């Protein structure tokens, strides 16, 4: 969970910086910093879960793909 939290902190900073740089608005930058990274952090968590399952089943998937060709 620590990895996800540090990823979120970096992402909030980048989102704010990009929003502010593009618009010059602290409000829009702040909104972007809250909304987009929050959604992306949740997506990242599920991506990590899916990736872990993929790694656990990698041999089965490779064998299935080899047999289908």
Distance from C-alpha of 37 to C-alpha of 40, rounded to nearest angstrom: 5
What pLDDT does residue 60 have?
85
CB-based burial of residue 53 (10 Å sphere; 0-12 exposed, 13-18 middle, 19+ buried)?
A: exposed
Give the phi and the psi of residue 24 in degrees, each rounded to 5: 75, 5
pLDDT band at 69 (very low <50, low <70, confident <90, very high): low
Answer whether 15's CB lies under 8 Å from 31's CB: no
- The number of C-alpha atoms within 13 Å of 1 and in the hemisphere containing its C-beta is 0
**What residue spans of the chain are helical by DSSP H?**
2-23, 26-56, 58-68
**Model confidence pLDDT, tens digit, residues 18-54:** 999 999 999 999 999 889 878 888 998 999 999 999 9
């Amino acid at each position: 969970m620590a990895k996800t939290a540090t990823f979120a902190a970096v992402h909030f900073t980048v989102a704010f910086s990009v929003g502010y740089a593009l618009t010059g608005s602290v409000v829009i930058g702040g909104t972007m910093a809250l909304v987009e990274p929050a959604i992306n952090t949740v997506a990242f968590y599920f991506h990590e879960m899916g990736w872990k399952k993929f790694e656990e089943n990698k041999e089965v998937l490779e064998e299935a793909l080899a047999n289908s060709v």
